[in-house]
Structure formats: structure tokens, C-alpha cells
Amino acid sequence: MAAKKPKSPHQCQGLPKPHVVSDDSYKRALLKKVRLASAVVEELDRRALGQKARDADAGDTERRHRAQGTIASALEKLKALGVHDDECESARAAANAVLEQKLKKRAAREREAAKDATKRQRRSDGASSIGTVKSDAAWALHTIAKTASGGADARAMDTKEIETRARATAADAERVNLKTCNAALWSIAKIASRVNDENACAQALGKAFEALLRRSAAFSARETDARAASTTLWAAASTQRTTVGAFTDDGAMRRAVNVAAEALAANADKANAQDAANALWGAAKLRRSLDPACVRALIATLTTTPVVTDGTDGVKLEELTIALWAMATFAGDGMRNVRACAAPLMKRAKEATKKPKTWSPQAIANAAWAAGKLATTSGDDTEDDATHSEACVKDAKQLVTSLIPAAKLAVLTAQGFAHVLAAAAAVAVDARLVGDLAKFTVTGLKTHASTLTSTDLASVVEAVRDLKLCSSMSDGTKLAEDIARAVERGVDTFDWQACGRLDLAIEDVVSAQDVERLRKSLNARGKEVCDAVDAKRLEVERGAADALLSLSGDYSALTAPFDANAATMLVVDDRYRLVTKKLRRVGWQTTMWQRFSCGEHAKGASWLERDDGNLEPFATAVVRMPPTKASLDMVLHAVAANVRFGGRVWIYGATAEGVGAVVADLPKVRFSSRLYFSSFIFLALAYSCAHSSCVRQSVHVHSATSMPGRSCRCSLIGPSNPERRLSVWRIIMSLD
């Protein structure tokens, strides 16, 4: 008989048998811990994307530390069990997928709650009683615009019907409600891009657009939601340079844009991704600065909303990239801490390159251009934002590097092709990509041989030079030959800027024989276009002088003070004395500083020399815009040293000369180490219009608002009649 098995101590004492956990169950429990803790860390990271480091919640920091400790502990135990890293990464990926769905549902609930709150607020404020007309004509235009968005051009649309509907919309505009007003603004902006030659139709649309803008400005910031504000900014920017925009009063557009910007600042946190992208793009196109807190809130919306490619609720790549484009444009306009603001956008765009096939050609071009600009812009960051700025530059380089494979697969335009190469040179991509970029450039030059403009070709050649693509063993020689043929083929269409850029860039790109031959052609073409420009120099000078002298009210340069001591004015580079003569007639005591000799009547001087022996500073100064940034810097420093504190300085020029970009180039000039130059700076711009018949109409100048540093508020001022040959656009701003 077999011996009985001895009882365990637990059985002897009558205790239950302990539960033994298997390794598989233990592993599943640890993986679950990794998933849950990873989801917590990911959610906290996304929440912090739109916030500055010093604004982080202390509770979030503690949760993050606990979650990271849980992950580290679980990973050590999994490693002891022999679990591979792939299983841990799969657990984290599953947690991220669950979090994506959770965030989508939460965002949908928040949007619905915001809509309900807005409706309740309007009912309580009685806003629905203000403008209760639902214009049938406006919604008929909306239907036509929907058809036009499908690809119809002006010939496929009934322009007579559009004209009739537009006139009826203009008549109803004064009484329409907010929803109808913004739907009509969107409709006219869509139709405007396809109506080019129908003057009667364009004029009717322009008057309707103007009436709707006035109606939009009548709604207060409390009554205007984020969608309405972003639509106004987008529509104004889309229509500004069209034929329809030429028949719209710029004063009405300016007021509507200012009201929309104020409403957007109050409701930025309620905007969805589409509203945020449209608002940033519209403000950038209009060169309208936004409140920094508003910009951060809009970027937070774009970076915390999941990126989608299937048409569901979320942020689209096109919206993400046009927001990046807008930030790069703001950087060119002198916005402070722009790279720190754009850092979350750049990081989100970089992460989206993991799926290169989802990128459209336009998104690639926008992202590449923006990355190149933001990576090379001169930073004006505070110490708190310096870290974010450095991260933005690093992410910009990684973004461009990741976009190159997508660009090779996409059907880019000639401009998009040039943007990608220029961005690669701007961020200085890794030298290991030289071969791929050289092949990409050879293919692009062949594909876009007939559509590549002189500006795009100059950008391509400069990128080839900076990246040393001609050193490629496989395609370097062919690339040099293709560039030489492209320059030779298009030299008769180059402008003077392209001639100068290519003259400098080709030396390190093509062979020595080709350099000599091409430079002869470029010099001949450069002389030809410079002579043509010089022949019209007097017309440009007159237009620029007219822009300055037509300022009215408190900002007029023609209003001389009664006090003789306050009537002294320094005039810089008035080559033809177009400004000086008129200023002397109204009582100004002018002193000319001509930096370049012009015949016998004007001898140039490198620095201001006063023959009268008077050492008193001038009351005001008028500066003809110099051709380069360095010249502007030098001239304004000289003016600062010779104009009294608080004096006014007028800078005038033509838009064709780039005077609109002067705001970003204004230096922080000063009299001494303690006293900053605080004169009022006025920019007068002459805008050349395509119309030949021109009539001057009176304009009203809007008061400029003083803001610290170079963050200046600009107001776009211009004539009511856009058919004037030399239409006048003025930006009035103050520099403290």
C-alpha cells in the first residue's frame, strides 16, 4: 500500500490554499500598467503643447512623475521576465490609439457644449434681435459659390445672375443677421477668385462685399464668435488682391478686420482647427498683427486636435501647414518670439511626416517654405522662450529632411519644387542627402522647364550652390549642364533681381566656360531691364512722393507748425526735389541730405553735413526708402541722431520696391544707452494699379496706436477709388 502524501502546513492549520500567479498573468498585468501609464503621459504632453513651461500645472507635473515611475518599474519587471521591447512598444501604441478616440469624443462634446453656450448667451443678450433678415439673394450667392468651389470658372457661371444677386445682397446687407453676413462674405470671396474680366459683375460684387463688411463691423466683439471672426479675416484676405477687391472701400475693410481681430482675441479658445487656420492665414495675408495670447490659443487648438486625413473631425494637414506659413509670414513682419510660438506647430508637422503619402503638394510646399523661413529668421526671443525657439529650429530641420521623400513622390508645382530646395539649403540638411537631392533637382528642372520663373530658378541655383549638389558623383555633371541650359533658355525673361542673384550663384555651380558665357548674357539682360526701370524712375518717384504728400489730418507732412523752431525738417534722398519743393511752399525749413550725387544740382554726401552751423536737432524728417536693409539701418541711425526726441519721421516708397516690408526691418535706434528713439514713424506706400483711368477721392486717416518696441499696430489706409493709376496705400504706425 502506497504511503500517504504529507499534508502541507496550510492544510494542517485549516487555511485555504494560496493562489499562485502564473508568469503569463503577471506579464499581462505589467503590460496593462505600461499602457495606462503611457496614456497618462501622452495626454499630459498633448495638454502642455499649447502652454508655456511656467504655466504648467503642479498637479500635472506630479501625475507625470508617478506615471513615468510606474512605466520604469513595470519595464524592469518585464525585462526580468524576458519580455521583448516590441511587446512594450505595442502596448504603448495601443494606449495611444485608445487615447486618440477618447480625445476625439471629448473634443466633439466640448464643441457641442460651446455651441449651446453661444446660443444661450445670444438669447440672453438679445443679439438675435439685431439683424433678423435672412437674405434670399445672399444665400443664392452661397449656392453659386458652392458650385464654383467644385471647379467652375467665370465662364461656367451666369455673371448676369451673380450681378443681380450681388445688388440685392448689397441692399439687404444692412439688416442681415450674423450668420447670413458671414455666409455672404465667404461666398463673394469664393466667386471673386473666378471673376476677372466682367467689370459690371465685379463692381456689383465689390459693392456687396463692402456693404457686408460694414455690417460685419457693426456687430460687437461679444456678438461675434470665433467662426464669424475667422471668416471675415479669411474673406478680406482672399478678396483684397482680386478685381472684386478693387471695388471695395479699404476703410470698410480695415474696420471690419479690426473688429474681427478683437472678437477673435476674445473667443480664440473657442475656435476649432479650421477657424484657427483660416484666422492665422487671413491675418498674415493682410499683414494684420494679432494679440500674442490669441495666437498662442489658436496654435494650441491646432496642436491639441488630432491630425486626420479621412475627412473626419480634426485638423487637416493643409490647415496645419497654412498656419505654419502664417507664422513664418509673421516672422518676416517682425513678430516677437515667433519661433517659440510656432514650436508646437513645427513639432506637430514633423510628427505628421511619418505618413508621407498623406501630404498634398500644396502642404509640402507650404511647410517647406515656412520651415526654411523660421529656421533662418533672426530670433527676437526672450530668455523664457529661447528653449522653445531652439526646439523650433531643430524640428524645422527634421521636418524638411522628412519632407524630401514626400516631395519626390508628389506632383509639385514649379514654385513648390523651388521651395523644397530652398528650405533644404536654409536648414542645411545632412550631407548624406546630396545624392538624392541632386537627382531630385535634375528631375525637377526637366519637369518644370517651361514653368519655372526667374525667381524660382534663382532660388534653385542658390540652393544647389549652398548644398554643393554638383559634387554628386552620379548627377553632379548633368545638374550643372541642366542649370546652364535653363539660365540660357530663360535669360530674356529675367528681371534685374534674378539677373543679380544668378550672376553671383552660377560661379560655384557651372563650369568656368559656362560662367563666362552666361555672365555676358546676364549682364546684357540686366542692363536692359535696369534701363527700362530707370526710364520709369520718375514715375515711381512721383507716385511715392504723392503717397506721402496726400496724407491728411494730423499725419499730414504738409501741415507746418507756426513756431519757426519746430518747422525744421531733414529730407533724405529726395533726388528730384518732388517733396522738398512742396514742403518749402507750406512753410517747412528743409535741409537736404542727398547720399548719392545726381547731376549738378545734387552732390552726394556719405554723412549729414550742416553748413549753417546750427547744432539744434531737426523737428521732423522725411526719408526716401533706401534700396537695402543695411542702408535703411544706417539712415535711420543717422536720422535718430539728428531728430529731436518725440519728432516725426516719414518713410515713403513704392510697393514694387518692397516698402511694405520695412516694418520688420526697423532697427531699435537710440540717442544714447538710456534714451531710445521714440519718434513717430509713418510709412507712405505708392501702389501701382492696373487701371488707366484714375480719379482721386478724399480719404480719412485712422489714428495710429503706440505699442512698445517693434510690435507696432498698423492701419491700412488708401483711396476709396481703386481705379486710380497710382493708388495710394499707407501704413501708419508708431515706434516707441
- Reference 487, options 527, 445, 529, 528; nearest CA is 445
Give 3-state DSSP helix, strand, coil % of the chain, rounded to 5. Answer: 65, 10, 30
- Reference 275, options 398, 115, 481; nearest CA is 115
Mean pLDDT (the chain, rounded): 77
- Reference 519, options 507, 508, 530; nearest CA is 507
For residues 273 and 2, the model is more confident at 273
Sequence-distant (≥ 6) Cβ neighbours of residue 724 within 8 angstroms: 689, 691, 694, 695, 696
For residues 710 and 570, the model is more confident at 570
The predicted structure's pLDDT at residue 73: 83
The predicted structure's pLDDT at residue 468: 92
Show contacts of 449-456: CB within 8 Å, 24+ apart: 449/486, 449/489, 451/413, 451/414, 452/414, 452/417, 452/418, 452/486, 452/490, 453/414, 453/415, 454/490, 454/493, 454/494, 454/495, 454/498, 455/418, 455/495, 455/497, 455/498, 456/414, 456/415, 456/417, 456/418
Are the CB atoms for 94 and 35 separated by under 8 Å?
A: yes
The predicted structure's pLDDT at residue 187: 92
CA torsion 535-537-538-542 (nearest 10°) is: 150
- CA 460, CA 466: separation in Å to the nearest integer? 10
pTM score = 0.67
- What's CA 705's distance to the chain center, in Å? 22
CB neighbourhood size of 493 (10 A): 12
pLDDT average, residue stretch 563-592: 86
The predicted structure's pLDDT at residue 464: 94
C-alpha cell at 439: 537627382
- CA 260, CA 216: separation in Å to the nearest integer? 8
- Is pLDDT above 90 for 381? no
Q: What confidence category does residue 185 fall into, taking pLDDT thresholds of 50, 70 and 90?
A: very high
DSSP letter for 498, please: H
Least confident segment among 38-52, 106-120, 361-375, 670-684: 670-684
pLDDT average, residue stretch 374-385: 66
* pLDDT tens for each residue of 129-144: 444 567 788 888 888 8
C-alpha cell at 416: 513648390
Radius of gyration of the chain (CA): 31
- CA 529, CA 535: separation in Å to the nearest integer? 10
Are the CB atoms for 307 and 348 separated by under 8 Å?
A: yes
H or E element that contains 62: helix 58-80
- Reference 520, options 478, 488, 561, 552; nearest CA is 488
- Is pLDDT above 90 for 149? no
The predicted structure's pLDDT at residue 615: 75
Burial 82-98 (b: 16+ CB within 10 A, else e): ebeeeebeebbeebeee
Residue the block writes with cell 487615447: 99
- CA 467, CA 651: separation in Å to the nearest integer? 38
pLDDT average, residue stretch 701-720: 29
- Is pLDDT above 90 for 462? yes
pLDDT average, residue stretch 586-598: 85
Q: What confidence category does residue 201 fall into, taking pLDDT thresholds of 50, 70 and 90?
A: confident
Helix or strand or coil: residue 405?
Answer: helix
Helix or strand or coil: residue 475?
Answer: coil
Are the CB atoms for 400 and 372 separated by under 8 Å?
A: yes
What architecture is domain 537-735?
Answer: 3-Layer(aba) Sandwich (3.40)
The predicted structure's pLDDT at residue 147: 80
Q: Taking CA 297 as the corner, what is the angle to CA 293 and CA 298, rounded to the nearest 5 degrees?
A: 120
The predicted structure's pLDDT at residue 106: 75
Are the CB atoms for 368 and 326 separated by under 8 Å?
A: no
Sequence-distant (≥ 6) Cβ neighbours of residue 207 within 8 angstroms: 166, 167, 170, 247, 248
- What's CA 287's distance to the chain center, in Å? 8
- Is pLDDT above 70 for 190? yes
The predicted structure's pLDDT at residue 728: 29
- CA 46, CA 58: separation in Å to the nearest integer? 16
- Reference 581, options 621, 545, 605, 616; nearest CA is 545
C-alpha cell at 485: 541650359
Least confident segment among 180-184, 261-265, 602-606: 602-606
pLDDT average, residue stretch 511-534: 89
Residue the block writes with cell 518670439: 337
The predicted structure's pLDDT at residue 20: 47
Least confident segment among 85-99, 247-261, 287-301: 85-99
* pLDDT tens for each residue of 413-461: 999 999 999 999 999 999 888 999 999 999 999 999 999 999 999 999 9
- Is pLDDT above 70 for 266? yes
- Is pLDDT above 60 for 689? no
Q: Name the phi and psi angles at 707, rounded to 5.
A: -135, 150
The predicted structure's pLDDT at residue 16: 52
* pLDDT tens for each residue of 271-283: 999 999 999 999 9
Sequence-distant (≥ 6) Cβ neighbours of residue 691 within 8 angstroms: 246, 722, 723, 724, 725
The predicted structure's pLDDT at residue 82: 77
The predicted structure's pLDDT at residue 55: 46
The predicted structure's pLDDT at residue 133: 65
For residues 132 and 635, the model is more confident at 635
- Is pLDDT above 50 for 729? no
Q: What confidence category does residue 720 fall into, taking pLDDT thresholds of 50, 70 and 90?
A: very low
- Is pLDDT above 70 for 245? yes
% pLDDT > 70, the chain: 75
Sequence-distant (≥ 6) Cβ neighbours of residue 331 within 8 angstroms: 338, 339, 342, 373, 374, 377
- Is pLDDT above 90 for 386? no
- CA 244, CA 233: separation in Å to the nearest integer? 16
* pLDDT tens for each residue of 55-108: 446 677 778 788 888 888 888 888 787 777 777 777 767 766 776 777 777 778
CA-CA-CA-CA torsion sign (29, 32, 34, 36): negative
Helix or strand or coil: residue 270?
Answer: helix
* pLDDT tens for each residue of 598-630: 766 567 787 887 766 677 888 889 999 888 777
Are the CB atoms for 699 and 673 separated by under 8 Å?
A: no
Q: What confidence category does residue 379 fall into, taking pLDDT thresholds of 50, 70 and 90?
A: low
pLDDT average, residue stretch 639-645: 85
Sequence-distant (≥ 6) Cβ neighbours of residue 647 within 8 angstroms: 617, 618, 619, 620, 621, 679, 680
- CA 683, CA 659: separation in Å to the nearest integer? 8
Sequence-distant (≥ 6) Cβ neighbours of residue 341 within 8 angstroms: 292, 295, 296, 299, 327, 335
The predicted structure's pLDDT at residue 237: 92
Least confident segment among 20-34, 364-378, 534-548, 703-717: 703-717
- CA 666, CA 572: separation in Å to the nearest integer? 16
User: Could you tell me whether strands 726-732 and 680-688 are parallel, antiparallel, or unpaired per DSSP bridges?
Assistant: antiparallel
- Is pLDDT above 60 for 359? yes
For residues 603 and 390, the model is more confident at 390
The predicted structure's pLDDT at residue 150: 56
The predicted structure's pLDDT at residue 619: 87
* Range with the largest mean pLDDT of 77-81, 325-329, 373-377, 708-712: 325-329
The predicted structure's pLDDT at residue 564: 66
